[in-house]
Amino acid sequence: MNSIYEPREDSFLMEKSVIKYAFGKVLDMGTGSGIQAITSAKNKKVTSIFASDINKEAVTNTLEVAISEGIPLTVIQSDLFKNIKEKFDTIIFNPPYLPTQEPKELALDGGEKGHELIEKFLKQAKTHLNKNGIILLLFSSLTNKQKIDEILNTNNYQFKEIDKLKLDFEELYIYKINKK
């Protein structure tokens, strides 16, 4: 069993961008506690909400929270886009973004160098974005900012840094991304 990621600084930073930028049909990838999916329901520009996580506990929990708060949303268990066919206007991802440490933690482990899961996500996300659709992506200085920029350029995305937060050991960034 994997524990559900309890919202912390990164979650609250992303939440601010979700309130400001999310619109239309939204996917909250790696929903964890469901914080970004539930927050997007408060945004009047949002018309429908999907949430997904590889962790079954997170899926069950997010569904329970949504039902108890009367928020209509669809939640599915999926490894990135494996079980997702739809296209979206907004895809939110506060991913695991740290280089692998032992013991591995599903919510934190972004791959050996920290950016591998994000790279996989960005490759798959292209076919799930509507025209004019956006991705809101969080990562850290520990993920390697230069590498993330390189991955985005290689995959034909344009991007803008829309928020950042300096913490003791890292800096967090939020990018707003769209297809060129």
**What's the distance, CA 49 to chain centroid?**
13
Q: At its nearest, how many Å lie between ligand SAM and the CB of residue 81?
A: 8
Q: Within 13 Å and on the Cβ side, how many CA atoms surround 58?
A: 27
CB 124 within 8 A of CB 52: no
Q: Does residue 96 bind ligand SAM (CB under 6 A)?
A: yes
Q: Does residue 119 bind ligand SAM (CB under 6 A)?
A: no
Binding mask 14-53 for ligand SAM (x = CB under 6 A): x--------------xxxxx-xx----------------x
Q: Does residue 106 bind ligand SAM (CB under 6 A)?
A: yes
CB 136 within 8 A of CB 146: no
Q: Radius of gyration over alpha carbons of the chain, in Å?
A: 15
Structure tokens belonging to residue 76? 């599915």
Q: Does residue 140 bind ligand SAM (CB under 6 A)?
A: no
- Residues at the contact surface with ligand SAM, assessed by CB under 6 A: 5, 7, 11, 14, 29-33, 35-36, 53-55, 58, 79-80, 94-96, 106-107
